[in-house]
Amino acid sequence: MKLLVGFVLCILVGLGFTYCNVPLGMMFGPLITVLLLKPMGFSVPVLPGSMTVIQLSLGTSIGLLFRDFSFGAQEHIAFLLLLLLLCLSLQFTACYLWCIHRLRWSRDEALLGAVPGAMAAVLALASHIKTPPQKIIISHSLRLITLTLFAGYISGGAHTPTDFPPVLLTATNMLWLLGIVLAGYVLGKCLERIHFPAPFMITSLLCAALLHPLSSQTVLFPDIFNQFSMALMGILLGHHFIAFTLTAFMRHLWSSMQLITIGLGVTVVMALATSHLLDYPFYLLMLSWVPGSVESMSFAALALKADAGFVMASHIIRMLIIQTLPAIVIYRKREVMQGNGAKMRKPTKPL
């Protein structure tokens, strides 16, 4: 019952924000509700499977756009990929050096704090190198919230229409949607087993992009599902903060803000330079290159009716790169430990 009441309250606040034309209101309404209810002794539990629903919704809605959607960056895609890698390198290097020389963090803490996004990768590294994760998680959580607010600011008052065209509720449209989502879910479960980042988002996007052209009519995705996913995302973001006491949060606030400013500053400089060089929209490069949540940035791109495919692709590439870091570090450390163990076990020759 508490789960239902809390969730309904989050939805109502989100609808109120949307009615008042607050950017990404269905996301920020539940987020603020979760934060305000915590001091009152109430909690809004996260619905089981929330991230799966969010990824399926985003992947399908964006994948369906590819039928009549032009990849705006087609002629510069290779160059933009190189610039994305350069931006990631600069973000990491600048934050790492700042952590070492100004914040006086240890090398392990600096490594975790400088990683541009991907909380799962950060937690995997933290657990392996035995680094206290509190300041790291607070830093990454604050960055996630800040960049989500940034995405809402960029999207301005833009919002997707919530009307229901007649074709939306036809049996053909619903069957195609069901088939695409089901295929994305089944394939996503396979990728999930090998710990692939955002598995359901990638598989549903590919299924929608590949299966949509086979349909005799344009398949439409109900906007109400995206609005529902935004509410789930808001609740998830709220839980990133309520996991810590106010004292712990305030203790690491200043250092977190410094790292956010550095990462965002690097992105602004890179996006401005690239925008002038390639005559590509600045706001689109910002949404694509900031080290934030792929879900939040994709929602903002959808709200702007921008090149959401490019935004999502950029963040998926970023996540793939970052997700390899824990595997490489853990593998190398395991090799070193096994090598040291073998040396210790090696019998010595008798005199």
- 294 lies in some domain: yes
Question: In whole angstroms, what is the distance from residue 264 CA to residue 257 CA?
Answer: 10
* Nearest alpha carbon to residue 282 among 263, 304, 253: 304
- 54 lies in some domain: yes
| pLDDT band for position 261 (cuts 50, 70, 90) | very high
Strand locations in the chain (E): none
How many helical (H) and strand (E) elements, i.e. helices and strands, does the chain have?
Answer: 15, 0
pLDDT in tens, 118-146: 665 665 566 566 665 677 777 877 887 78
Average pLDDT over residues 195-217: 84
- 107 lies in some domain: yes
- 217 lies in some domain: yes
* Nearest alpha carbon to residue 25 among 185, 160, 187: 160
Distance between alpha carbon 71 and the CA centroid of its chain, in Å? 21
Cα Rg of the chain, angstroms? 22
Ramachandran category for residue 197: left, alpha or beta (phi over 0 → left; psi -120 to 50 → alpha): beta
pLDDT in tens, 153-175: 776 654 444 444 555 667 888 89
Cα torsion angle, 335, 116, 230, 250, sign = positive
Q: At what angle do helices 199-211 and 308-345 cross, to 10 degrees?
A: 140
Q: Quick one: 15 exposed, middle or buried, by C-beta within 10 A (0-12, 13-18, 19+)?
A: middle
CA distances for 243 relative to 5, 42, 137, 234, 239, angstroms: 21, 14, 10, 15, 6
Amino acid at 94: A
In eight-state DSSP terms, residue 306 is -
180 contacts 208 by C-beta, under 8 angstroms: yes
Distance between alpha carbon 52 and the CA centroid of its chain, in Å? 13
Between 215 and 94, whose confidence is greater?
94
Q: Which residues of 74-103 are buried (b: 16+ CB within 10 A; e: fewer)?
A: eeeeeebeebbeebbebbbebbbebbbeeb
Place of tokens 């990824």: 55
pLDDT number for residue 224: 84
- 15 lies in some domain: no
- 16 lies in some domain: no
pLDDT of 208 over the 80 cut:
yes
The encoded tokens of residue 87 equal: 């931006």
| pLDDT band for position 332 (cuts 50, 70, 90) | low
pLDDT in tens, 89-108: 999 999 999 999 999 898 87
93 half-sphere exposure, CB direction, 13 A CA radius: 8
- 4 lies in some domain: no
CA distances for 215 relative to 66, 115, 161, 200, 344, angstroms: 13, 42, 23, 22, 65
**How many domains, the chain?**
1
**Residue span of the structural domain in which 185 resides:** 46-343
- 21 lies in some domain: no
Average pLDDT over residues 193-221: 84
Residue 151's contacts (CB-CB under 8 Å, 6 or more residues apart) are 24, 287, 290, 292, 296, 297, 299, 300
The whole-chain average pLDDT of the chain stands at 79
Between 261 and 201, whose confidence is greater?
261
The encoded tokens of residue 179 equal: 């088939």
